[in-house]
Amino acid sequence: MENRIYINTGALEIYRWAPSCPLTERPITLNISEWVPQIAAAGFDGIELWEPHAMRCGAAERTAQQKKLAPLAVFNCYVDFGHIPDASARSVAARIGELNSHLVKYTLPRRIPLATAIANLRLWSEELPEETILCNEIHANCYGETPAEAAQLRTLLPEPRWGEIIHLAEPVEKMRALFDVLGDRIRHCHAVFCDTLMPQGELQPCAPGSRNPQLRVLAGLNYQGSFSIEFVRGARWNVVLPEPDAAESLRFAAEDARKIREFTR
């Protein structure tokens, strides 16, 4: 069976990295429910919904999302586990339930003591349907960033509902080491076919074939999880610059998805 490939809706949003603007205040320009036909036509198997698109839209769009997106493949969550879940965190959990999301992405930033983060994460998880899979994104400056830390999280969260998300851009050696300690707990992969930001703040496509070594590793390991295109070339940090439109970003994402299909079909 082919791996399922999703689009992260943040990849379509021109304010994805609005400068000096907290996530909860970033303007959003898209009603994702209106993009479902185009996303399907582009060949994607589903959607990884960026939290601002789920939480900061109007009432009509919330209802439309429930009709057109549920059951949702992945909910990309930014709940802060530095304190006991509050009304805001509980509202995100309720939204995840409304969308019947199969998998939820979260992170555990190092600024939070690990014991505190785990305790609050577990409390918050009780707000979610029992069948929901919760996956820690292996991310810079977050717990689980190294294979040793990932193994520690596996010990702290041993139940089957807990998993991990890797990045396709990880060095091959680290990717293998993560699979050595996590195995099939790795449920999802964030894929980006871009290099570092250019001086003007625009993401550029990486060299052709530069992600092939990682894709070969995943194919060789018979990776059974899903992928999502996390963001695409042309995205900019500085929103004052001219921005690509969402249709163009979707075309770029579809091109990137085809690169994955070459190795996973």
First to last CA, the chain: 8
The packing angle between helices 59-68 and 87-98, to 10°, is: 40
pLDDT over threshold 60, residue 239 = no
The range of the structural domain enclosing residue 214 comes to 5-264
Closest Cα partner for 81 from 35, 38, 112, 52? 112
Number of compact structural domains in the chain: 1
> The CATH number of the domain where 60 resides is what?
3.20.20.150
- pLDDT tens by residue, 39-51: 999 999 999 999 9
Q: Whole-model pTM?
A: 0.93
Give the confidence band of 89 by pLDDT, cuts at 50, 70, 90. very high
SS3 labels along 183-233: HHHEEEEEECCEEEECCCCEEEECCCCCCHHHHHHHHHCCCCCEEEECCCC
Closest Cα partner for 96 from 122, 121, 59, 62? 62
The pLDDT, as a whole number, for residue 171 is 94
The pLDDT, as a whole number, for residue 214 is 95
* Average model confidence (pLDDT) across the chain: 90
pLDDT over threshold 70, residue 226 = yes
Dihedral angle, C-alpha 109, 114, 117, 121, nearest 10 °: 110
Q: Give the Cα separation of 177 and 114 in Å (integer).
A: 22
The pLDDT, as a whole number, for residue 238 is 56
